[in-house]
Amino acid sequence: MASSIPQSFHEVVASLEIQAFIDLVNRLGSQPCPAPPWDSDRTYRVSPVGEGYPVIERLAGGTWEKAGLEPPPLTLAAARKLVGEFLVTRPLYSPLRLVASPVADRKFLLPPIIRRPCSDCREDTNWQAEERGGGWAAGFIAAAWKCLQCGGCKFAVWIDIEQVAEDDESVEPEPAEPLSKVAALAERVRKVKEAKEPPRAETYELTKVGQWEPWSIRPDAALEKELEATDRALYRKALMNMSQGYGLGALAYFRRVVENETGRLLDVVAELAKDEGDEGLLAELEKAKKGHNADERLRLAANATPASLKIGGVNPLKTIHSITSGGVHNGDEAACMGLATELRAAFEYVFRHVRDVTGQRAELRRVLTKRRAQSKPDV
């Protein structure tokens, strides 16, 4: 890829009408460009088109074709899966906007099966819809699911689903002169025909306004043992803010916890490096612990993260550092809620992953050591 071509698909799309970019593509000719997230396995390029704007093309069946600039609408199955994850994992008042194939009734977007933790079974289980949109309360859809494993626990939500009306730029203004009878009849026929053509996609916006059992404001049990008493209280306040949709407050509390617990966080990561016998990373982490402040310690540690801690190339320590070192989006609750969700997930993952991995390795070493000791012949 030419270094002057934008580094993401969305940046390329945003540049298509910029004259400097048009001149660049006309001068260089067709150039590879990043594929969009929804079609990441295909090859894409941006190509000049005479005097017009450049176009983005994709390789399909050995030939280049004009590519869509927006993700295709979700199938009903994909939409239900996304809605199910949203209902289980996101706090109250968090919005979800999706573009999906049209449904006859908005409640059909609710999934027949969801997967979530069960307090009685003490594990993630499948839950079957009992009343998938079976009732309305104060204008909201009420739905409930029951755990298929124990049959006793129920999960209920109250959700608002709105169909978003997109601006229609094709609407023509009323004519200045009244239409003749023939022209008026032709116009009516045209509108009837257009009305009979079903839309290929609809935009829906969902908001969860109620939930039972309520959103938990207790930290993960394993994490709770790791935190100091003051930080446990701060973490609960962060979760309480999340449960009510206050992203700004949740992010502020999570950031305070991370700043206070940076030393303990690095101790946990160093424990993993030591368990893996990586002396080089261990030395780098020890150096990071001596940083002047939490920001510097996290920045140094992010460059000394064990490979086993990364997920698909994503470094959780870099995620933690980038969120805690950036400014708070003052007043933007939705943006702050997204950052708070990412920060919480990365922070909890580090503690859980290291404890799980080191615990499993210790157990394996114990079993193997015991077996070897038993298999030694008596002297």
pLDDT at 146: 93
Q: Report the pLDDT value the prediction gives residue 170, as an integer from 0 to 100.
A: 39
Q: In sequence order, what are the residues at sequence separation of 6 or more whose Cβ sits closer than 8 angstroms to the Cβ of residue 279?
A: none
Q: In DSSP terms, which residues pair with 161 in a beta bridge?
A: 206
pLDDT tens track for 186-224: 666 665 555 555 556 788 888 888 888 777 777 777 777
Which of 255, 231, 252 has the alpha carbon at shortest distance from 241? 252
Residue 377: predicted pLDDT: 62
Q: Summarize pLDDT for 73-90 with one digit per residue, the tens.
A: 888 888 999 999 888 888
pLDDT of residue 148: 92
User: For the purposes of burial, counting CB atoms within 10 Å of the CB of 121, is it exposed (0-12), middle (13-18) or buried (19 or more)?
Assistant: middle
Residue with structure tokens 């609408």? 73
Q: What is the mean pLDDT of residues 52-60?
A: 87
Residue 313 tokens, joined: 């190339």
Q: What end-to-end distance do the CA atoms of the chain give, in Å? A: 68
Residue with more model confidence, 174 or 226: 226
pLDDT of residue 234: 92
Q: How confident is the model at residue 1 (pLDDT cuts 50, 70, 90)?
A: very low
| Secondary element (H or E) of residue 233 | helix 229-243
Q: Which residue, chain included where needed, has tokens 């999570």?
A: 254
pLDDT at 37 over 60: yes
What percentage of the chain carries pLDDT values higher than 70?
83
Which pLDDT belongs to residue 189? 61
Q: Are strands 123-129 and 113-118 parallel, antiparallel or unpaired?
A: antiparallel
Residue 115: in which H helix or E strand, if any?
A: strand 113-118
Q: How far apart are CA 282 and CA 127, in angstroms?
A: 44
Partners of 136 in the β-ladder: 141
Nearest to 127 by CA among 204, 216, 213: 213
- 3 state SS of 228: coil
| Residue 272, pLDDT score | 80
pTM of the model: 0.58
Q: Which of 132, 201, 129, 204 is nearest to 161 (CA)?
A: 204
Residue 376: pLDDT band (50, 70, 90) is low
Distance CA 305, CA 121 (A): 35
As a whole number of angstroms, the distance between CA 287 and CA 281 comes to 10
The mean per-residue pLDDT over the stretch 50-70 comes to 85
d(CA 337, CA 249): 9
Q: Which residue type occupies 224? A: E
Q: Which two tokens stand for residue 141?
A: 């859809």
Provide mean pLDDT across the span 288-317. 81
- What CA–CA distance (Å, rounded) separates 82 from 59? 28
Dist CA 315 CA 303 (whole Å):
9
Rounded CA-CA distance 314/345 in Å is: 13
Per-residue pLDDT tens for 339-374? 888 888 888 888 777 777 777 777 777 777 777 777
| pLDDT tens digits, one per residue of 228-282 | 889 889 999 998 888 888 888 889 999 999 888 888 888 888 888 887 787 887 8
Which of 35-49, 121-135, 158-172, 182-196 is the most confident on average? 35-49
Residue 194 main-chain phi, psi, to 5 deg: -65, -35
Least Cα distance to 294 among 347, 241, 339 occurs for: 347
pLDDT of residue 138: 59
Question: For the residues 45-55, what does the mean pLDDT come to?
Answer: 83
Q: Is the model more confident about 160 or about 166?
A: 160
How far is C-alpha 72 from the chain's CA centre? 18
